[in-house]
Each structure stands twice: as C-alpha cells, then as structure tokens.
Amino acid sequence: MSSIYSTRKQRRHTRRFAKLKSNALVLAVQSIVPAGASIVDLGAGFGGFVRSLVDVGYNAFGVDGSPEIEEISGGVVRRYDLTKDCSSLYGKVDWATFFEVGEHVPSADERKLLDQVCAIPAVGIIVTWAGTADVGKTRGHVNPHDEQYVKRLFSSRGWVFNETLTRRVRLAAGNHLARLRRLLVFRRRTRIKA
C-alpha cells in the first residue's frame, strides 16, 4: 500500500488538518465513551488523535496501513493492513474509530476491510466515510458512499446504528469541519467481552 504522506508539504498540511480534526473528535468521543475505555483508531495517520485520546485518559492506540507510519508517527501508530487478518485485535478494545478510511480502499477490498474492522471492537464504533459529493475534492477517494449505504454495510455485519449517540457526537464535534457532520455511531448487537 503506498503512502498518502509522500511529500513534506502533504505531511505539513495533513498534520495541521489532523490537529483541528483531533480536537473536535476528542470532544465527540468524550460525549459517549466512558473515561478509561480502550480505543483503537483505525487508519490513524500520524497519531495526533491517538495522542489526544491518551492525554484525556483513554487507553488508546492507532493502526494505519502506510508503510512508514511507525517512523512518521514516532511509534504511536502501528503498521497494520486492515484488509488482512486482524484477529490479534478482536475484542481487545471497547471502541474503535474509523474516520475517513473506507473511501481510500478500492471497492474490491471493501468486504475484506469491513469484515476485519467490524470484528475488532467489543462495544461500539464511530465512523465517517466520505460521500459521493466529495469525489474530486480530496485526493484518493476511490470508494465514496452515502450515509445509507454505510449504515447497511455495518448493519449487515452485526452492528446497530444508534441515532441518539450519533446526534450526541455530532453536537459535541460542532461545526468545525463539514466531514464531522457525517459521524455515525454503531453499537454491537451482542456485546462481547473485551
């Protein structure tokens, strides 16, 4: 998998955007996930969000598929291909965040990706997925979907969309970024022990 962090300019821009997004997302997570819970950020990029979660008391770590991500993130994010077997992570965390990842994975790998991602958290998952209106606005969006499609993807894998928690995270995240208005919260139909 090639890196989306290939030039210094892209890295600087991504880090600035990540800081703004990270602050809003931490508020969103705090609005529904109890302090001290374990969280994995799937597609963690540089790890700024993970660092912010740790700073406010969560047991958090991140994974990302970029080849040099461990070096770029200073070891905060582990390299992990989410389309491969992720069974070493299954049920070991309470919550997962899956922000702006699915649209970067070709549709041919979508099923493998979602099967792995949905098996990881024991309690819940918070998702954003770029929609079809975003095509051409951001580099690398090869698999955008609308909200209803994303809900069906997770529902077919044993997850229940939670309207109340979704409203709560969207309100907590505020209007900092349009992408955050697409936050969706799913709870596992049958909770597994973490």
Residue 98 in any domain: the answer is: yes
Residue 124's SS3 state is strand
Residue 110 in any domain: the answer is: yes
Summarize pLDDT for 89-123 with one digit per residue, the tens.
Answer: 887 899 999 998 888 888 899 999 999 999 999 99
> Mean pLDDT lowest for which of 88-97, 161-170, 175-184?
175-184
Own/partner pairs, 182-185, CB within 8 angstroms, 24+ separation: 182/128, 182/129, 182/130, 182/131, 182/147, 183/28, 183/126, 183/127, 183/128, 184/126, 184/127, 184/128, 184/129, 184/147, 184/150, 184/151, 184/154, 185/32, 185/124, 185/125, 185/126, 185/127, 185/161
Mean pLDDT for the chain overall: 84
Residue 193 in any domain: the answer is: no
How many folded domains does the chain comprise?
1
pLDDT at 50: 94
Q: Is residue 58 scored above 60 in pLDDT?
A: yes
Enclosing domain of residue 115: 8-28+35-188
Buried b (16+ CB within 10 A) or exposed e, 74-83: eebbbebebb
CATH of the domain at 108: 3.40.50.150
Residue 1 in any domain: the answer is: no
Percent above pLDDT 90 for the chain: 54
Measured distance CA(157)–CA(119) in Å, rounded: 9
Region 30-47: mean pLDDT is 94
Residue 169 in any domain: the answer is: yes
Residue 194 in any domain: the answer is: no
Q: Is residue 150 scored above 60 in pLDDT?
A: yes
Residue 66 in any domain: the answer is: yes
CA-closest candidate to residue 95, choices 4, 16, 159: 159
Residue 127 in any domain: the answer is: yes
